[in-house]
């Protein structure tokens, strides 16, 4: 099995690199551990009331999150010891697998519907979200394409257009679920990678104009998206309907003040803020740990982005540079969108906060991604 051989080779190379005093980026690893621990604590703190009411077990979500985190950490170290350039060889197969998953989830009876979106495939007692796989799969494939064909990226037909068509094909399949939040993260991350590869600004301006028209079309085609926009502009116009979630989120953050109400002392998790352990976990964090706690989390994400960019700049080849930038950019963009939604800066999109929100696919794939980033850091000159 090629992957097992690469695993063994990766372990051998890692031992060799450790003997040569080359280790994964320790500041990045430290940031990941802090975010993961805070996430586990906040999942329990935000969910035990709802968990006890729904499942008669206040530890229900905590136990599952610990299981996801354990599997994710194992996967992170697995990806960390496999040389990052190995994924370039399998980029085509990885992308094909991700597209197959996106198609499977659309098949009635295969895809599971939750919250109005058919975004999951059931596997026993658990489920996976194919769009999460696509984010990492497309980053790997795009890094391989850009590194091999960077000289063509300034050409609209030879470089820019093929990449854009690929990105929006994946975006289109994700929107059929529909999952606008994940689609936005995927598109913005890929745009960052394409821009870093040297694409012309004029091409982006043209794409932005077309994108705005498409975005307006997406909003107009679905009444619930229009209601989300109006709820964002004036949530108190429909406080018990579309504006309910953002109002409750602001009611959580506001009383938190500077120091917060104290860990475990949130009031909004008592059936006011729906599913507080998922997309709006930052609101509970702000209520319990205050402005200081929220600021620390935001700073940690900025530091994660900084380490990712530094690893990217010092990577030994173009594939490593684009791959590191894509992973760091994906995590930063997703965190930015989630926190912006929670504090009312943008309309509700329905997306998790990396490392902190409850969710198996999201947490596991996030840890796999940073495992790849940590491996790149071993070979970087930092």
Residue pair 228/242 in contact (Cβ under 8 Å)? The answer is yes
Residue 342 domain-assigned (yes or no) = yes
The structure tokens 């969108």 sit at 337
Query: Is 1 among the domain residues?
Result: no
> Does residue 123 belong to any structural domain of this protein?
yes
The answer to whether residue 10 sits within a structural domain is no
- Domain hosting 321: range is 23-379
Residue keyed to tokens 């991350």: 189
Task: Write the pLDDT tens digit of every residue in 254-276.
Answer: 888 888 899 988 888 888 888 88
127 belongs to a structural domain: yes
Confidence at 218, pLDDT banded by 50, 70, 90: low
Query: Per the domain annotation, does 12 fall within a domain?
Result: no
Task: Count the domains in the chain.
Answer: 1
Rounded Cα gap, residues 168 and 183, in angstroms:
9
Please list, in sequence order, all residues whose beta carbon lies within 8 angstroms of the beta carbon of residue 64, skipping any fewer than 6 positions away: 358, 360
What are the beta bridge partners of residue 118? 113
Q: Is 308 in contact with 325 (CB distance < 8 Å)?
A: yes
Percentage of residues of the chain with pLDDT beyond 70: 85
Residue 250 lies in a domain: yes
pLDDT of residue 111: 75
Task: Please report whether residue 91 resides in a domain.
Answer: yes
Kindly report, residue by residue over 42-73, the tens digit of the pLDDT.
999 999 998 988 888 889 999 999 999 999 99
User: Which residues have C-beta within 8 Å of that of residue 245, sequence separation ≥ 6?
Assistant: 273, 274, 280, 348
């Amino acid at each position: 099995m090629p992957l097992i051989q690469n695993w063994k080779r990766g372990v051998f190379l890692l031992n060799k690199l450790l003997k040569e005093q080359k280790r994964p980026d320790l500041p990045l690893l430290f940031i990941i551990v802090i975010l993961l621990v805070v996430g586990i604590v906040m999942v329990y703190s935000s969910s035990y009331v709802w968990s006890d009411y729904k499942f008669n077990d206040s530890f229900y979500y905590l136990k599952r999150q610990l299981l996801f985190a354990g599997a994710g950490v194992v996967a992170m170290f697995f990806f960390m010891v496999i040389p990052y350039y190995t994924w370039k060889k399998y980029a085509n197969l990885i992308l094909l697998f991700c597209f197959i998953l996106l198609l499977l989830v659309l098949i009635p009876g295969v895809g599971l519907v939750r919250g109005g979106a058919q975004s999951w495939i059931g596997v026993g007692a658990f489920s996976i979200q194919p769009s999460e796989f696509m984010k990492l799969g497309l980053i790997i494939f795009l890094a391989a394409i850009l590194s091999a064909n960077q000289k063509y990226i300034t050409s609209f037909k030879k470089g820019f257009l093929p990449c854009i068509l690929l990105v929006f094909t994946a975006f289109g399949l994700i929107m059929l679920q529909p999952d606008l939040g994940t689609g936005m993260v995927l598109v913005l991350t890929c745009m960052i990678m394409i821009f870093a590869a040297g694409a012309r600004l004029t091409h982006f301006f043209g794409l932005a104009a077309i994108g705005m028209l498409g975005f307006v079309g997406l909003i107009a085609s679905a009444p619930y998206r229009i209601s989300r926009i109006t709820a964002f502009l004036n949530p108190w116009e429909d406080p018990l309907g579309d504006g309910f979630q953002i109002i409750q989120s602001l009611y959580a953050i506001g009383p938190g003040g500077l120091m917060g109400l104290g860990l475990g002392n949130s009031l909004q998790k008592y059936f006011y803020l729906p599913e507080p352990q998922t997309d709006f976990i930052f609101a509970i964090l702000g209520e319990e740990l205050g402005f200081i706690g929220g600021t620390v989390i935001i700073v940690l994400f900025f530091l994660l982005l900084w380490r990712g960019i530094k690893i990217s700049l010092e990577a030994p080849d173009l594939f490593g540079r684009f791959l590191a930038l894509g992973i760091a950019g994906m995590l930063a963009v997703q965190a930015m969108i989630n926190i912006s939604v929670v504090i009312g800066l943008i309309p509700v999109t329905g997306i998790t906060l990396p490392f902190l929100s409850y969710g198996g696919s999201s947490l596991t794939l996030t840890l796999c991604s940073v495992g790849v980033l940590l491996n790149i850091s071993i070979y970087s000159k930092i």
